[in-house]
Structure 1
Amino acid sequence: MPYSLYLKPYRQPIDLINDLKGKNLLFSNEVEAEKILSQISYYHFKIYLHPMLDLQGTNPKVYRSNSFFESGVELYRFDEELRILMFKAIAKIEVKLRSRLDHLISRTTSDPFWYLDNSLFFIVRNNTYAIDSIRDKISNDFNREKELYASNYRSKYYNDKHDKYKNLPPFWIASELLSLGQIYKIYDAINHSLPTIDFDNLAKEFGAKDYKVLVNWIRCIRDVRNRCAHHSRLWNAKLSIPSNLNNVLTISSPNKHRPYTTIAVIQKMLKKLQIQNLDLRAELEDIFNRYPFANNHMHQAGFPTNWNTDPLWIR
């Protein structure tokens, strides 16, 4: 495929407004619109105008009649609040994922350094690269950590569990440095078929049918968490479908690749863990009520019309 020189020029907010007006988009307040487009990258923002495009017309780049720029801003603000809410909910689950895994394996093995034991992980042809890459990341982060708990440990202790990682602390300390992505990698790397540790029972604590389903759910919520952390569009993002949805939802989603199915998994986990200080249903209802345009397009986020009547959302 031949390359072509990129020649699109930078455009001032007023130029963008004029271009959108030429495509049939209306503005309630052009001064405010110009201010918004000077603060938000148009490349980042324009996807929120997409629901108003006349995709069935002769020119799919033109907006439908009576479509307003401010509706796109409303959808943008809705997405911001949705990401903040999901970030808060996932944080509560993340803490439990760290602690419950550590409690289970440390209690069963009587080894607080269990994550340094290769026999607990899938090792292919004696290649420990996958689990060692996680240990290397923990080691690098731990050696750079300036908090007192880390410097105090480094100045006093070592372990005799692994020659390469003698500097590393017990998992309950090391886990403080883990991102959700790294937590997922550890869950995924564990040999859950070991008969001495009941990993399926751990999964049931989080509302999953078995350990494989739990690992899949962690990957799905990691993907949502990453979008939240990087301020990426979430409301109608195409995501992986969580496993075993029939164990989660009674009312099916109109689009299982959209965020609602993972949000439902998050609710399932919060409910099973009996986390009381976050009413996810009430907060979602509040956001939808404050942003009617988003509420009118909830199917694009995978929400069924009567989503809040599903038994999942009834405490």
Structure 2
Amino acid sequence: MFSKKALTIKEQIAQLQQRGLSIPNVVLAEKYLSNISYYRLGEYWYVMQLDKEQHLFKPNSNFKDVIALYNFDAELRLLLFDVIEKIEISLRTKLIYHLSHEIDPWWFQNLDLFNDSMALVKTLSNLQQELERSKDVTIKNHFKNHKDDKRFPPSWKSLEQTSFGALSKLYGNLKPTIKSKDIIAKEFGAVNHTYLPSWLQSIAQIRNYCAHHSRLWNRNLPGTVKLLSKPPYPWIVDSINVPKQHEFRKLYIHMCLMKYLINIIKPQNDFADRLNDLFVKYPNVDSDALGMKLDWIKEPLWKK
């Protein structure tokens, strides 16, 4: 039976000190712990512990390094969220445009176009909920002016209300015979539809971590991605710097895919500079925990 009692902030600090974490500025530590929970910060000091059963810290472990790591992670999430936003908007635009022209504006309701009808029903159910609670004037006016039309609003209205995750599922669930599926993949530099779904699912998952303020540093990502053997746009040329299959759980390869896509969407982007600036700002951050390669910024992918 769980028997631990809740600790006051002073007790939390005393416990950390007893376990070997240096906290020279107790007042500042109290300020942090009153705004960032002990449990959340624990995800960042966990790696500093020599004995993880007794929670004893390694020599020279310092509270300020915990906060630096926490701040690095927070700024990394903001950076990736900004990059992912542009990818999401581009994907939404391409889906709406190409499928509405190839099929019709209600293509996303057509069960015949999708491999998994049950998955589509679930996606549409979530979309319906989004539309019902939407405060968007366009959506409200559509339902008001088209009361007799029992369909969803057309794709250019409906799909503006849904999430990146739902968009990636719609794309991945499309039958391979749908021409637009390959067209969109080619526009994203993915050659054909077999590669892009795993990229989008990975990025959508990372977007959710960012949106919910979850830790990215030193996190194992459950998704896997399929890489092109010969990408049509700048990629990683040094074989040493290409992540191996067992490294796909680290963030680096997923950031590479984001960079690959954003280079196509917005060629003059500053993703590489901003990411490098983060490592300069926080020099004590262990970049290996993200799967970073030593000369990553020199690769053609990141130079662009």
Fold shared, TM-score > 0.5 on shorter chain? yes
Structure 2 stretches lacking a partner, 5+ long: none
Matched, 1:122 2:115: yes
> Could you list the per-position Cα deviations for residues 253-283 of structure 1 after superposition, in whole angstroms to 9, with x for gaps in the alignment?
473311111111100000122353x410011
Q: 1:160-199 residue pairs with structure 2 within 5 A?
A: 166-194=150-178, 197-199=179-181
Matched, 1:104 2:98: yes
Task: Give the TM-score taking structure 2 as reference length.
Answer: 0.90
SS in 2 for 1:211: coil
Matched, 1:293 2:280: no
Q: Check conservation: 1:216, 1:243, Cα contact below 8 A.
A: yes
Q: Check conservation: 1:159, 1:169, Cα contact below 8 A.
A: no
Match of 1:72 in 2: 66
> Could you list the per-position Cα deviations for residues 30-80 of structure 1 after superposition, in whole angstroms to 9, with x for gaps in the alignment?
21112111211111111211232226x9x8732222121110110000000
Matched to 2:271, the amino acid is: L
Match of 1:201 in 2: 183
Match of 1:225 in 2: 207
Q: Check conservation: 1:25, 1:68, Cα contact below 8 A.
A: yes
**Between 229-238 and 25-34, the greater mean CA deviation after superposition:** 25-34
Match of 1:265 in 2: 257
Q: Check conservation: 2:73, 2:215, Cα contact below 8 A.
A: yes
Flag the 1:220–1:25 CA change in 2: closer, same or farther, 3 A: same
Match of 1:16 among 12, 18, 39: 12
> Could you list the per-position Cα deviations for residues 77-125 of structure 1 after superposition, in whole angstroms to 9, with x for gaps in the alignment?
000000011111101000011111221112222x1111122221115xx
Number of paired residues?
A: 294
RMSD between aligned residues = 2.1
Match of 1:156 among 124, 127, 145: 145
Matched to 2:158, the amino acid is: A
Matched, 1:302 2:291: yes
Task: State the shift of 1:304 in Å.
Answer: 1.2
Task: Give the TM-score taking structure 1 as reference length.
Answer: 0.87
> Could you list the per-position Cα deviations for residues 274-301 of structure 1 after superposition, in whole angstroms to 9, with x for gaps in the alignment?
353x41001111111111121xx00111
**Between 99-108 and 259-268, the greater mean CA deviation after superposition:** 99-108
Matched, 1:30 2:26: yes
Structure 1 stretches lacking a partner, 5+ long: 161-165
SS in 2 for 1:54: strand
Distance 2:205 2:228 in 1: 17
Percent identity, please. 31
Greater than 3 Å deviation, 4+ residue runs: 245-250
SS in 2 for 1:122: coil
